[in-house]
Structure 1
Amino acid sequence: MSKQMKSTIAYTLLILGSVIMIFPFVWMVSTSLKTALDVYTLSIFPENPTFGNYLRIFQDTLFGKWFINSIIIAVVTTLSVAFFDTLVGYIIAKFKFIGKTIIFIAILSTLMVPTEMLIIPWYLMSSQFGWVDNYWGLLFPGLMTGFGVFLMKQFMEGIPDDLLDAARVDGLGEFKIFWKIAIPQVWPAISALCIFTFLSNWNAFLWPLIVLESAEIFTLPVGLSFFASGEFESQWELIMAGATITALPLILVFFLLQRHIIKGITLTGLK
């Protein structure tokens, strides 16, 4: 088989795969622009497109509140993970103290425990501290991650010790060394960690479903599930409008930070 034939087959398969992956998204957006009478037609593109469905979900539901809740949770957890995981990774990588290896092994062991097994301890802790059905209950499981500590520790080890010692000789304190010297050296890794953390918290469903009771503080995935199974169960045009809005921030993050996502995946794989 010639090289040109192989390339043709490869591109054909890639195009077919792309169409298969993109088609559900196109159908979702198309349905969100249809009227109730046009939803069950087989046409991909609506004959009379309307944005009224998007207005209805904000007027008739708590969708706007759910959107704000998701933004708050995703942004706060991302900032927390970026700071604390980087700080802990720096300390483990660059300081010598008793029990460092044991602590690092304990952190790594959390990566081996499925999230489903942590749900009951999380819920019991939330009940004891009064965090059920509030923002704290949503936030605390994601404020630090074992993966982030491990990732940042690996990158911090690549910073030359001589560079840090030179900063100490110049009179910088340890926190300033971390903030002004170490962080700029590992910024690509921090960017990748922030992207992955934001995406995972934006899409989180199981824990918010369990810890939340009031509709006012639902996140988008939980709110959308109740939205689809409640009074709007058969109104697919409204459900698809909600799903489209839910997906928009992820698409925006991807297009704005595409270079960092690709670089982050590459760096993570290398480490």
Structure 2
Amino acid sequence: MIWLRWKCLVLTILAAIILGGYLLPVFWMVSSSFKSEKDIVAMKWLPSQANLENYSTVLERAKIGRWFLNSLIVSVSSTLGVVIISLLAGYSLGRLEFPGKRFLFLLMLSGFMIPLQAIMIPMFLTLKFMGLVNSYGGLILPTLASSISVFIITQYFKGIDREYEEAARLDGASEVQILFKVLAPMAAPAIITVAIFNFTMTWNDFVWPLIIAQSDNMYTLPVGLVTLAGFDVNIRYGPVMAANVIATIPVFIIYMIFQKYLGAGIAIGELK
């Protein structure tokens, strides 16, 4: 018993140290957003006099409102698309039987092994041919294919007892009704997990928006924030920190609201 108590104490201390390592940069960012430039250069942890000047500067001199709207449109559209596609693919791979199912499942898993850098040029040329460069379509379309999302939904569907859909079929329900009215509500933790992961990844994505968005009116927040430190908007560290705080707020809110579903969603197939 004493050994177990010491083990729990050591693990708790270790977890606290790791948590502190993650939170320290966040604290510095939030604190610096209220500091003067002099306090930031002097590496003060707390502002000598807190003020909102950095926030007013970035809102007045940068197109952060436009970038925020672009990120919101792209992230929400992409997340909805990924969830719908993953539900349809997950139902086919997890509940139905048809020739070539195993091959399609392995083909889907191969998406894990293909990095974005390997297909960026073909994707760009394809979207250019389609006339989608510097458009919402070009920003959203490539994000709709998510192997990890299909895998999570598929595995979760496999863990649901087949008696539910058999009962629904006896009542005359179609395959679409079974998916969206029976299975989807039961797979809510997995769906929410997929939605959170995809929203976060799309919101924070920098490389693809940098390639496809060719004017500042189409920049998403990660790309737009880089320009804050450049020559286009000649502002310094304080406003950049304030802009990063603004960019972090939506993801923070989503995690706070839906965090209770994450553990259940990650525990794939544990439905009882």
Q: How does 1:1-271 map to 2 (within 5 A)?
A: 3=3, 4-232=5-233, 235-267=236-268
| 1:249 shift after superposition | 1.5
Where 2:106 maps in the other structure, the secondary structure is: helix
- Cα separation, 2, equivalents of 1:206 and 1:162: 45
> Which stretch shows the higher mean deviation, 260-269 or 120-129?
260-269
Q: Is the 8 A contact 1:232 1:239 kept in 2?
A: no
- Cα separation, 1, equivalents of 2:217 and 2:269: 37
| 1:247 shift after superposition | 1.3
Letter in 2 for 1:196: F
> For the aligned residues, what is the CA RMSD?
2.1
| 1:188 shift after superposition | 1.1
Q: Is the 8 A contact 2:86 2:149 kept in 1?
A: yes
> Which stretch shows the higher mean deviation, 229-238 or 131-140?
229-238
| 1:47 shift after superposition | 1.2
| 1:11 shift after superposition | 3.4
Please list every run of 5 or more consecutive structure 2 residues that lacks an aligned counterpart in the other structure.
Answer: none
Where 1:229 maps in the other structure, the secondary structure is: coil
Letter in 1 for 2:177: K
> Residues 232 and 13 from structure 1, CA distance in 2 versus in 1: closer, same or farther, beyond 3 angstroms?
farther
Paired residues, number: 270
Q: Is the 8 A contact 1:164 1:177 kept in 2?
A: yes
> Residues 46 and 152 from structure 1, CA distance in 2 versus in 1: closer, same or farther, beyond 3 angstroms?
same
- Cα separation, 2, equivalents of 1:36 and 1:201: 31
Q: Is the 8 A contact 1:156 1:186 kept in 2?
A: yes
> Residues 248 and 188 from structure 1, CA distance in 2 versus in 1: closer, same or farther, beyond 3 angstroms?
same
Q: Deviations over 1:48-67 (max 9, x none)?
A: 11112112211111001101
> Residues 92 and 11 from structure 1, CA distance in 2 versus in 1: closer, same or farther, beyond 3 angstroms?
closer
Q: Is the 8 A contact 1:232 1:238 kept in 2?
A: no
> Which stretch shows the higher mean deviation, 236-245 or 249-258?
249-258
Where 2:160 maps in the other structure, the secondary structure is: coil
> Which stretch shows the higher mean deviation, 109-118 or 205-214?
109-118
- Cα separation, 2, equivalents of 1:268 and 1:93: 11
TM-score scaled to structure 2, two decimals? 0.91
Letter in 2 for 1:45: L
| 1:230 shift after superposition | 2.8
Letter in 1 for 2:13: T
> Residues 163 and 225 from structure 1, CA distance in 2 versus in 1: closer, same or farther, beyond 3 angstroms?
same
Q: Percent identity?
A: 32
Letter in 2 for 1:212: A
